[in-house]
Amino acid sequence: MPSDSTFVEVKNAFQAIAGLESLTAADEFFLTSSLNRAVHRAYNESDSWPRYLVVGEKREIYTYNISGITSGLAAEINQNYKLLGSNSGKNIAGNANIGKIGTNVYQGGSTTTTFIYKKANNAWVIATGISSFEVETDGTISLEAAGTSKFTETDTTKKDRIEDVVTWQENGNANGPPVILSQIVIPYSVANKGTIGEFLRVYRNKPFVHNSSMEYEFYVDSLGCNVINFRSSTDSSVFVNYKKELTAGFTPDSTNIPSEFVDYIIYTALSDFYTGDGQIEKASVAANQANLMLDVELLRLDKKANNNTINKKFSTYVNRQSR
């Protein structure tokens, strides 16, 4: 398991190499700045640092994004929505006509009490205040209640897809209409999961277990990872290799500085100090030494085979299929 170093340990090592008995307040400020920049650089040099690498984590897919609500309901409605499953047509208590049987039910990702579903009359509704749901033995979804309808489809010919709805009836000064974007997105951040810094690979099934798993192509934008050629209408999740978000901002009180970066940090800081003092030749020598220290750590990653096994994509019959 990757180990941590304290700022004090880094500072003491820096002073020893630089031949300084003590650091002034200004020196410590510049050391802190150099340290944080060095950590950012090292983090960006590889996708395979063990402390930041997560392999095959299950992540839910969000198939819709709603925006355009400008009232106080914006926080409840403007968000990503994930597919829960097929509507049972009943509520948790077993009462009928809560929704149309066999149609999709979607739940908000950040405000989880907002749902999109088809009413028994076949009209789509965006409803708030639904506190829970149940998965029945047959796999269908039963909502706790119908909720409070904020937008209801009023198209004469009811649409199968939410994004095709032309006219929404607004209820309770919701201030719409909703702008609905169809998507296959894995967000950077969701509740109870680590924040994703970089998406590396996306699979249909759990990878590196037994059989090869189909791998999806994707592109990344401000919303997250957009999966390409996603053919399944029933899958509600995928499995992701990703790099954790870098949480730096280290201070003199920090005790969690990555130990694998320490030598690189020290010589980077030394190069910065020499540069600030006008000693360009010494700065260049220290910078070269810093790069050598980082290369040593990168070589260790190669020996662990993370680059070849986890992050290198092999072209196979399985991962070339679009299912």
What pLDDT is recorded for position 307?
62
H or E stretch covering 106: strand 104-108
Which whole number is the average pLDDT over 6-16? 96
**Token pair listed for 94:** 């077993």
The domain locations on the chain are 4-51+246-307, 53-59+185-245, 69-177
Mean pLDDT (the chain, rounded): 91
What pLDDT is recorded for position 211?
66
* 100, 122 contact by CB (below 8 A): yes
Confidence of residue 229 (pLDDT cuts 50, 70, 90): confident
Q: Model pTM?
A: 0.81
DSSP assignment of 148-215: EEEEEE--SS--SSGGG---EEE-SS---PPEEEEEEEEES--TTSPPEEEEEEEESS-SSSSS---E
- pLDDT, tens digit, 9 for 90 and up, residues 133-188: 999 999 999 999 999 999 999 999 999 999 999 999 998 788 889 999 999 999 99
CA-CA distance, 70 to 80, in Å (whole number)? Answer: 16
**Token pair listed for 103:** 């149609």
- Does residue 201 surpass a pLDDT of 90? yes
Confidence of residue 225 (pLDDT cuts 50, 70, 90): very high
* 180, 186 contact by CB (below 8 A): no
Q: Taking the CA atoms of the chain, what radius of gyration do you get in angstroms?
A: 26
- pLDDT, tens digit, 9 for 90 and up, residues 89-139: 999 988 888 899 999 999 999 899 999 999 999 999 999 999 999 999 999
Q: How many CA atoms lie within 13 A of 285 on its CB side?
A: 6
What pLDDT is recorded for position 308?
59
